[in-house]
């Protein structure tokens, strides 16, 4: 596995992306797992899901510069958190890549997705009609759709609560697509009312990346 991208947003917030090249046993030899994590690993279907889970844990150890056991459980909503480290964390993976984002200052979220034509068939499932009006028939429609998906996924991970709908509760404001840029997302949260986020997105090879933290504006 090789580190292929590392970005420091500021001194307290950063993320890394690794290309997954090893098999399961090679990744497993680089980890120290407790009983709960071993059960979690055993429950995963063999193949990419297992490699993704292992790769994010190996990458996390690299980012925290330790070979020791790292306790990284999930809360009742499935949001991961670190025990004994002063960081909020977000994990993501897609096909041959895994990514981890860490923030000392606030909750964060990151998402990576491989760009494929299938998004054109499901766009109405995660975007409102008013969102689609500024995306449909754009020459970069496919990339714009993935920027929107990654932005919503990143904010979903940041807020960390189940029951939030991409289509019902999140709205992307009109933006002009570039290969690296920002967009504004409005979240109608059932606890905190309306919250606005600036989400960063960028094209990474044949993938789209979206990331956000609460102080990133």
Q: At what angle do helices 48-63 and 35-43 cross, to 10 degrees?
A: 150
pLDDT at 71: 93
Distance CA 171, CA 165 (A): 10
- Please check the confidence at residue 16 and state whether its pLDDT lies above 60: yes
pLDDT at 217 exceeding the cut of 70: no
- The structural domains of the chain, with segments of one domain joined by +, span 2-105, 111-213
The confidence score (pLDDT) of residue 137 equals: 75
pLDDT confidence bin for 1, thresholds 50/70/90:
low
Q: How far apart are CA 201 and CA 148, in angstroms?
A: 9
Distance between CA 189 and CA 186 in Å, rounded? 9
pLDDT score for 190: 65
Q: Cα separation of 82 and 63, whole Å? A: 13
CB of 81 within 8 A of CB of 73? yes
* Domain 2-105 CATH (choose: 3.40.50.300, 3.30.428.10, 3.10.20.30, 3.90.470.20): 3.90.470.20
d(CA 173, CA 155): 14
Question: What does each C-alpha distance from 182 to 22, 140, 147, 158, 201 come to in angstroms?
Answer: 33, 15, 9, 17, 6
* Closest by Cα among 196, 208, 147 to 171: 196
How large a percentage of the chain has pLDDT more than 90? 82
Q: Is the dihedral of CA 143, 145, 147, 150 positive or negative?
A: negative
Distance of CA 70 to the CA centre of its chain: 20
pLDDT, average across residues 206-215: 93
CATH architecture of 111-213: Alpha-Beta Complex (3.90)
pLDDT of 132-189, one tens digit each?
Answer: 999 987 789 999 999 999 999 999 999 999 989 999 999 999 999 999 999 999 999 7
Cα–Cα distance measured from residue 149 to residue 144, given in angstroms and rounded to the nearest whole number? 9
Question: What is the average pLDDT score of the chain?
Answer: 93
Of residues 131, 133, 136, the one with CA closest to residue 151: 131
Furthest CA-CA distance within the chain: 51
The answer to whether residue 216 scores a pLDDT higher than 80 is: no
Record the pTM: 0.94
Topology agreement, domain 2-105 and domain 111-213? yes
Q: What pLDDT is recorded for position 214?
A: 86
**Structure tokens belonging to residue 72:** 């990284």
pLDDT at 38: 87
Pair of tokens at residue 69: 């056991």
> Smallest Cα–Cα separation from 65: which of 29, 102, 34?
102
- For 20-50, write each residue's pLDDT tens digit: 999 999 999 999 888 888 888 888 877 889 9
Write out pLDDT tens, residues 99-137. Answer: 999 999 999 999 999 999 999 999 999 999 999 999 987
């Amino acid at each position: 596995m090789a580190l292929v991208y590392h970005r420091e947003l500021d001194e307290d917030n950063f993320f890394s992306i690794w290309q997954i090249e090893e098999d399961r046993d090679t990744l497993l030899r680089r980890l120290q797992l407790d009983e709960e994590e071993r059960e979690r690993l055993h429950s995963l279907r063999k193949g990419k899901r297992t490699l993704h889970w292992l790769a994010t844990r190996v990458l996390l150890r690299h980012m925290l510069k330790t070979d020791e056991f790292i306790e990284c459980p999930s809360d009742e909503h499935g949001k991961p958190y670190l025990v004994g480290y002063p960081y909020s964390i977000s994990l993501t993976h897609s096909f041959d890549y895994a990514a981890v984002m860490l923030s000392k200052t606030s909750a964060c979220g990151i998402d990576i997705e491989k760009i494929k034509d299938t998004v054109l068939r499901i766009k109405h499932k995660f975007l409102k009609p008013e969102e689609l009006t500024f995306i449909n028939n754009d020459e970069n429609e496919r990339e714009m759709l993935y920027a929107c998906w990654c932005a919503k996924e990143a904010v979903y991970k940041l807020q960390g609560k189940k029951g939030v709908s991409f289509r019902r509760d999140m709205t992307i404001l009109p933006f002009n697509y570039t290969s690296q840029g920002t967009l504004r997302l409005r979240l109608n949260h059932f606890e905190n009312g309306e919250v606005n986020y600036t989400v960063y997105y960028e094209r990474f090879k044949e993938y789209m990346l979206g990331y956000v933290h609460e102080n990133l504006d």
